[in-house]
Amino acid sequence: MSAQLEPRPRLRPMRPADLDAVLRIEVAAYAFPWSRGNFIDSMASGYLAELLLAPDASLIGYFVAMSGVDEMHLLNITVAPAMQGRGHGNALLDVLLARCREQGVPVLWLEVRASNPRARSLYARRGFVEVGVRRGYYPAAQAGREDAIVMRLDRGS
């Protein structure tokens, strides 16, 4: 008897033609989503932007990260709300860490909303440490602005 393998999600670079699908997820996932212009500017600037696609080519999630000198900064990582809790966020982080290794990048930075314990927990489990706070970094409906927790993963060289 041979085991039948389930088709696996696949990755590919984000392209402008993907932005309608990306924005549908972005708007569903966040009260203050990135704009089309944010994504276009990121791609035009050469930022690392990748999609995670289901076997049927539907969009599961994506990330956008900016390279710097000896560092990478994760700007946006999002999984479609209907697909959350299935390990896709971890898979996207795995891809980003692989890209860091490929580029010889020793440090990965990110900001996360102080009110997002689920994401903070995921990052902590992956080895990120909280290193600071950016006061009033994010827009927020109730308080006007919300703090961001700055996290860092030092993965060596």
Note if 137 is an active site residue: no
What is the C-alpha separation between 109 and 115, in angstroms, rounded? 18
Are 13 and 50 in contact by the 8 Å Cβ rule? The answer is: yes
Q: Which residue, among 80, 76, 91, 29, has the nearest Cα to 58 in the 3D structure?
A: 80
Angle (CA) 37-107-94 rounded to 5° is 75
Note if 111 is an active site residue: yes
Give the active site residue among 47, 62, 123, 138: 123
Give the active site residue among 26, 111, 138, 146: 111
What is the C-alpha separation between 113 and 121, in angstroms, rounded? 12
Provide DSSP, 31-55.
SSPPPHHHHHHHHHTT-EEEEEE-T
Helix, strand, coil % over all residues of the chain, rounded to 5: 30, 40, 30
Angle (CA) 69-155-104 rounded to 5° is 45
Which residues are known catalytic residues? 111, 123
